[in-house]
Chains A and B, each alone.
Chain A
Amino acid sequence: MPSAGEMKQRIEATLPGARAEVDDCTGGGDHFRAHVAYSGFAGRSRLEQHRIVYEIFGDEIGGPIHALSLKTSTH
């Protein structure tokens, strides 16, 4: 089960130059909220931006990560 800190690291390691803030909403390690700022989001729809983040975690979303609430921005 990933921690908020690990999730932040994975997002920032996968998306060059991205800044991520990840909160564990309940403290239970399965409901997270993330704000991801990434210049690579520019020109992409919100749907695509969220997909880019979801894809980092693959099958973990819906598995150990029950929920990942997202807010994305380009800077």
Chain B
Amino acid sequence: MSSTPTNSIRDAIASAISDHEVILFMKGTPDAPACGFSARTVAALQALDAPFAAVDVLPDARIRQELSSLSNWPTIPQLFVRGELIGGCDIVIEMYESGELAQTLGIEQPPAPAPTEAAGPAGSQAGSRFAPVENRLG
């Protein structure tokens, strides 16, 4: 049983980390990130369609304090997967770009959007592709 509020915050953080396979501690919310680093980290997770829990550290300064002392990591955001700290924005973005993030999350990285196969022979639609819709009233 926790006797002080600070310990209960720490306990709540620890259980949030163990209860969620993927959890992001961030400034703001995924819909309204309050910091560019948090925004970029959310964007990487969303680009992979990865489900994740998110905790906003801003409402109470003690969340950030206790989180950093628990994780031995000084900055926000912090991404945890299966109870383990993966890193902050720089590491998450590097891992996203190398494909390691998808691997760590156990999901398939969606292929980069490729041009869809042309319906007809190559070049046959050149000139008509961007043809403006015209109203010829003459």
Which residues of A line the B interface, CB within 8 A? 46-47, 50-51, 54, 61-62, 67-71
Contacts and interface: CB of A to CB of B under 8 A. Distances in A.
B89 A62 contact: no
A54 B73 CA distance: 8
Interface of B: 37, 64, 68, 72-75, 85-91, 94
B87 A54 contact: no
Given A62-B68, A67-B37, A46 B74 contact: no
B6 to A, nearest CB: 18
A47 B74 CA distance: 12
B87 A62 contact: no
B72 A69 contact: no
